[in-house]
Amino acid sequence: MATCSGIAFDGEVVALLPRGDRKVRLDNGHVITSLPMRGPSTGVPLIGDRVVVEIALNQLKGWRLARRP
């Protein structure tokens, strides 16, 4: 049985929100609110940075920043 970690999209940070959340404009034009990255952060994404956001198939609580390309 194959497993999939989730669905991922490329986007750009457009706003910084409290608690480390970010508003991200996806490449398809949709704007979402994403949770902070898990684990040790190598750099905090700022406005204008390109990021990859993902949502796990088993946890549909919200989008999470996955990495910075």
pLDDT per position as a tens digit, 1-54:
445 567 888 999 999 999 888 899 999 999 988 888 776 666 788 899 998 888
Residue 46's pLDDT is what?
Answer: 87
Residue 40's pLDDT is what?
Answer: 67
pTM for the complete prediction? 0.75
The DSSP call for residue 43 is S
Residue 28's pLDDT is what?
Answer: 92
Distance CA 40, CA 4 (A): 23
| pLDDT class of 66 with cuts at 50, 70, 90 | low
Residue 1's pLDDT is what?
Answer: 41
Q: How far is CA 53 from CA 1, 68, in A?
A: 25, 9
